[in-house]
Amino acid sequence: MKDIAFVDILLRFGFIPFSTGMSARTQIIEVGVMSDWLWWRDGVIYQIYPRSFADSNGDGIGDLNGIMGKLDYLADLGVDAIWLSPIYPSPDVDFGYDVADYYGIDPKYGSMDDFHRLLDEAHARGIRVIMDLVLNHTSDQHPWFIQSRSSRENPYRDWYIWRDGRNPHSPPNNWGSVFGGRGWKFDPSTGQWYYHMFAPQQPDLNWRYEPVRQEMLNIFRYWLDKGVDGFRLDVFNEYFKDDQFRDNPWKLGIRRFESQKHVYDADRPEMMELVEAIRLILDEYSQRYAVGETYLADEKRAVEFTGLSRLHAAFDFSLLHSKWSAASFMKTAQYWDTLNIADHWPNNVMNNHDNPRSASRYGRGEKDERLKVAAAFLLTLRGTPFLYQGEEIGMRDIHLNASELRDPVGKKYWPLKVGRDGCRSPMQWDGSEFSGFSSVKPWLKVHPNHTFRNVENQLQDPESLLHFYRKLLQVRKSSKALQRGMFQPITFDPQRLAAYLRQDDSETVLVALNFGRRKVRLGLGPDLANRDWELLVSSKNRSAVGIKNRWLPLSGEEVCILKSWN
């Protein structure tokens, strides 16, 4: 009954302004299936890079107790889950993405007891915890690899990808490493080459070998049994490589890795079956979740990995690469809309620990107006929003000189590539010498703008970006239409104006975003103009809805969000 009423309302108000490829039938499915709140679908997920979040014991490195001390801050911000970048024992060649023990906590981050306490304290505040699982490769210091490289006969030999070279001086094939150079390293003691998609200290696991697969699936169970709510799967679609180790075709590029089409070293069809096996394990528990880091594949591929029997989500990174224009942002929002949304749930990511921050990409100097527009977009789209620590206060990338770099990519390629340190500088809690992050000089330099750009200052300023994020999260939380309603574009122009509706059976939310610096007016049809709107959010102190003669005026870089009951 409810479903029919919903479609009826849509038709009555003429609310299908233009086709997004969704049939009325798809809309019915959406309402029918999505009646209950689900944390990973309707909530907001916040990524923590533990090394740089909060240091509780004064060694310059963030830790679990540091995170614990900030849970109230996160609860006040309104996030529903935190994703922790890796906290397992690691020699830190790639800062945790080189794991030396999947069943432990690195002492620099705390103990297993600290982890359990963090889990309990987060849960007590209604915050779920997502672990980062790095299962494509281990550290070369992992006992498995130490065994594996010790002799060709060692029982762990086949846990990694060992091959004979084409000849003693030439690797088995042309595959490269993401971090530069060849993807193969010769090991003189056993006379074979091993494959590493990332640093040589990150040898790839051999997922085709049954004991490896079993062990990996155990790791899921181990953390699920501890009560962890979900996983972010690091470069999951690279687990399998071509079984015949064929050369990748070449294309134009500067470094070896970028000069190849990644046909044989990545994204192999075998992954689909594994994704289904992983989902079966997750579904043995209640409300557990996995999001895959789709690497070297576009959003179309990301979609294929998701669904009721596959992963809950796979990252769509298109917003990370969007330029500053209404059209470009709207384009990123539209792909998932053409799909059966009951089976595939989108996610939206504007920042993470691998890319320049959105504040540095979009912000003009230290001004935050554009960041409010971007935040409003991210948090009113259909799909789970991911935030990255510091995004909510508009942290900018730090500029470092060569001796200050820590990321292996930056260290190898500076100044050609600066690496990823820029977005990893310590969280800016206050204006003190080490930004309230630590009492000593941190592992990575604090951004000089922390003296004024910090949480403490922004909490005191009702106009701050932080307050704006808090407001948006609160508004999203209180609106089912924003969480899971349909996305209906009204209009957008190439540069400046983007406007769309989010609707469910009971409410309609209108989002109007001015990407430009000059005033614009949004023209509304009579059905929209004559509604009884309530002002939810304005970034420019708008005091009333302000629709006049079917026009909604917007000042430069203004966010305006209105709501009405259907």
Residue closer to ligand GLC by CB (options 179, 329) is: 179
How near is the Cβ of 200 to ligand GLC at its closest, in Å?
Answer: 13
How many whole angstroms separate alpha carbon 215 and alpha carbon 333? 38
Residue 235 contact partner, candidates ligand GLC, Ca ion, none, CB within 5 to 8 A by sort of partner: ligand GLC
**Among 438, 350, 433, 443, which residue's Cα sits nearest to residue 395?**
350
How many whole angstroms separate alpha carbon 126 and alpha carbon 459? 22
How near is the Cβ of 82 to Ca ion at its closest, in Å?
Answer: 18
Catalytic positions are: 234, 284
Residue 63 contact partner, candidates Ca ion, ligand GLC, none, CB within 5 to 8 A by sort of partner: Ca ion
One residue of 44, 48, 131, 134 binding ligand GLC per CB under 6 A: 134
How near is the Cβ of 124 to Ca ion at its closest, in Å?
Answer: 23
Query: Which residues 58-87 are close enough to bind Ca ion by CB under 5 A?
Result: 59, 61, 63
How many whole angstroms separate alpha carbon 108 and alpha carbon 62? 8
Residue 61 contact partner, candidates Ca ion, ligand GLC, none, CB within 5 to 8 A by sort of partner: Ca ion
For residue 245, what are its two tokens? 């180790």
Binding status of residue 234 toward ligand GLC by CB under 6 A: yes
Binding status of residue 106 toward Ca ion by CB under 5 A: no
How near is the Cβ of 402 to ligand GLC at its closest, in Å?
Answer: 20
How near is the Cβ of 120 to ligand GLC at its closest, in Å?
Answer: 27
Taken as a whole, the chain contains a residue count of 566
Query: Which residues 171-210 are close enough to bind ligand GLC by CB under 6 A?
Result: 198
How near is the Cβ of 277 to Ca ion at its closest, in Å?
Answer: 37
Contact 371, 360 (CB under 8 A): no
Tell me the three-class secondary structure of 119-135, residue by residue. HHHHHHCCCEEEEEECC
For residue 409, what are its two tokens? 């990519």
Residue closer to Ca ion by CB (options 70, 241) is: 70
Strand 192-195, strand 162-163: pairing = antiparallel
Binding status of residue 92 toward Ca ion by CB under 5 A: no
Residue closer to ligand GLC by CB (options 71, 296) is: 296
**Among 431, 423, 421, 424, which residue's Cα sits nearest to residue 455?**
431
Residue closer to ligand GLC by CB (options 394, 410) is: 410
**Among 126, 96, 302, 113, which residue's Cα sits nearest to residue 229?**
126
One residue of 63, 92, 94, 421 binding ligand GLC per CB under 6 A: 94
Q: Measured in whole angstroms, how far is the alpha carbon of residue 194 from the centre of its chain? A: 30
Q: Which residue has the tokens 């320049």?
A: 356
For residue 188, count other CB atoms closer than 10 A to its CB. 6
Residue closer to ligand GLC by CB (options 85, 488) is: 85
How many whole angstroms separate alpha carbon 467 and alpha carbon 528? 29
Q: Which residues sit at the interface with ligand GLC, rule CB under 6 A?
A: 94, 97, 134, 198, 234-235, 293, 295, 353-354
Q: Which residues sit at the interface with Ca ion, rule CB under 5 A?
A: 55, 57, 59, 61, 63
